[in-house]
Amino acid sequence: MTERQRFDDVWAREIERRFQAEVLRETKQWWTRKAIEGLADSHGLKLRWQSESLCFVSHPIGLDGLVALRVGERITDDQIAQLEDLKGLAAASTPMPT
């Protein structure tokens, strides 16, 4: 992979990350079970449901980081930042195809 291809790949991921964070802020003001499960599926994050409404989101191979989300709770900027950190860890630990 050339330096330009790596740059384009990183920039494309950053644009996608910003877009998804903005979508969460603007359109999904409250957590739903479907939103939590969709977020985890699309970013390779692990879910552990404690009850019908409380879920812990973590890195798939157990790296540091755990975010508690509650169905019906308002989405906060802090939660989005924590989820972005987890997604970054998941992406960084996934081997790049050669």
Amino acid identity of residue 65, one-letter, is G
- pLDDT tens for 69-96 read 888 888 888 888 888 888 776 565 555 5
Rounded average pLDDT over 19-25:
66
Q: Would you kindly state where each structural domain of the chain is located, as residue ranges? A: 3-93
- What mean pLDDT value characterizes the chain? 77
- pLDDT tens for 59-71 read 777 655 688 888 8
How far is the C-alpha of 96 from the C-alpha of 94, rounded, in Å?
Answer: 6
Tally of CB atoms within 10 A around 9 = 12
How far is the C-alpha of 58 from the C-alpha of 67, rounded, in Å?
Answer: 7
Q: Is the pLDDT score of 29 beyond 80? A: no
Q: Is the pLDDT score of 5 beyond 70? A: yes
**Percentage of the residues of the chain whose pLDDT score is greater than 70:** 74
Q: What pTM was computed for the model?
A: 0.57
